[in-house]
Amino acid sequence: EVQLVESGGGLVQPGRSLRLSCAASVFTFDDYAMHWVRQVPGKGLEWVSGISWDSGSIGYADSVKGRFTISRDNAKNSLYLQMNTLRAEDTALYYCAKDRTMIQGVSAGGMDVWGQGTTVTVS
Amino acid sequence: SYELTQPPSVSVSPGQTASITCSGDKLGDIYASWYQQKPGQSPVLVIYQDTKRPSGIPERFSGSNSGNTATLTISGTQAMDEADYYCQAWDSSTAVFGGGTKLTVL
């Protein structure tokens, strides 16, 4: 079964950093774009960042631009999110999601596999 | 920034048709996707490229997109379809989600 497993969440003080990881299995990781999406409990989904299969195209939400950095290691089937200068409003459940396509940001895409999420609390 | 607007809630009787709308400027010119999220679970893609269903998604789920509005339609709604539904589209390489619609089957 295609699977994504996030890790690295936790409790962190405002202004500090945290690095999230997402391990992918049972699909050809480097054939697809990947994303991070977050959700405050009881609230809606917010896209955080996306990266193309070859890291050639990267996008960020305005709310995290300049503070968060997405990256991937295709040899390790892993996706990462480096989060710096964390704020209370970054507190959320962070999901890793696989795109249907290779390129992030294309209209024809869609996020067809999601992990269970890892919780980040900034306090 | 681009915005997608959904009604906060929609109610439907079992066996009837539920329609959930998503509005955005010239949304019909780009593709829309739809996600279902049940309490305590991760989202599931139910419609992509306006009208296409991923494998495993029941045929009662369908989508359309024209003008400024995309619509998710659930025909013969079942109790198991009660969930939050989110539309999503891309604007300048940035993904945008609608605020979500809580579908109640009663």
The full 3-state SS of chain B, as one line of letters, equals CCCCECCCEEEECCCCCEEEEEECCCHHHCCCEEEEECCCCCCEEEEECCCECCCCCCCCEEEEEECCEEEEEECCCCHHHCEEEEEEEEECCEEEECCCEEEEEC
**For position B81, what pLDDT does the model report?**
98
pLDDT class for A1, splitting at 50, 70, 90? Answer: confident
Taking all residues of chain B, what is their mean pLDDT, rounded to a whole number?
97
* Interchain contact B9–A (C-beta under 8 A): no
Chain B hits for A104, CB-CB cut-off 8 Å, are 93
* Interchain contact A32–B (C-beta under 8 A): no
How far is the alpha carbon of B106 from chain A, nearest alpha carbon, in Å? 22
pLDDT class for A84, splitting at 50, 70, 90? Answer: very high
Q: Which residues of chain B have pLDDT under 70?
A: none
DSSP A93: E
User: The tokens of A55 are what?
Assistant: 């890291």
For residues B44 and A110, is the Cβ–Cβ distance under 8 A? Answer: no
* Interchain contact A44–B (C-beta under 8 A): yes
* Residues 6 or more apart in contact with residue A59 via CB below 8 angstroms: A49, A50, A51, A104, A105, B93, B94, B95
* Interchain contact B86–A (C-beta under 8 A): yes
**For position A26, what pLDDT does the model report?**
86
**For position B78, what pLDDT does the model report?**
97
Q: Is B42's CB within 8 Å of A50's CB?
A: no
Q: Is B43's CB within 8 Å of A100's CB?
A: no
**For position A108, what pLDDT does the model report?**
79
Does position A39 have pLDDT exceeding 90, yes or no?
A: yes
**For position B102, what pLDDT does the model report?**
98
